[in-house]
Chains A and B, each alone.
Chain A
Amino acid sequence: MNVIFAGVVGIAAALFLFSDPENFLASLLSGGEKAAVLALSLLSAYCVWLGFFKVLERCGLSEKLSRLAAPLTRRLFRSDDREALFLAGGNLSANLLGLPGAPTPLGIRAAKRFTEAGNEDAADMLFVLNATSLQLLPTTVIALRLAAGSTSPADIFLPTLLATALSTLLGVLFLKGGKFLCKRRAKRR
């Protein structure tokens, strides 16, 4: 992230210097403004979902759901931490259902618990699953296509599903492969 930050800021500043220097600060400010607007909409989504999850937790449903998904999540994350597995499982299902704003709070807490327990591989796995998009129904795209006057807005459903499944599969493969190579190199030394 440090490399990307330095690269983008440096090159952009140089480009602005030659085109229109006034716009450099304006761009930074508008980025901050967008973050403020987004933070507000995130806040409302998190209020709804964190309230809902707390009810889920108190009535014991989260425990049950977690046990139900345990055969899958335990294998995926190689962890026995029930709380973290519930959070991660909830994160994955919220992703699949495409509930806006619901996956992130669960995912962050799960990643934190995994990291604190020294299980960094699990946190990395959770990140890759999230960062390769798991959504079953691309609701944003369908809504935008409808607004743009498409005659059949949902006909991208199948290719998107296949492409996103492929990206998740490849992401997991690359992560596992990369870790394997790193370990082998470390051993040789």
Chain B
Amino acid sequence: MNTWIAVGATALGCYAVKLAGLLVPVGVLERPLVRRLAALLPVALLAALTAQQTFADGHALVLDARAAGLGAAAVALVLRAPFLVVVGVAVLVTAGLRSLTG
């Protein structure tokens, strides 16, 4: 049930902001400060999420095969690999290291 609440709230919220962008008058969102904040908000969230999902195990910080996978993904990004390759490399390296270390 809790999961359905989260799914419903996310679906409503995400649709509402998409529609708002198409409907609101230009002036409201075109203030420089609002625009800068909107551009920086995803940077902060994505950075925090990347770090947490790489190093978190519940409430503890751990260094495991995921870190190696993300390192490989970073290298792929530097080499300008396509999106799917970046994700695939992370998965393969993580799985490979786990199978080696047991």
Partners in one complex: no
Residues of B near any A CB (own CB < 8 A): none
Residues of A participating in the B interface, judged by any CB pair closer than 8 Å: none
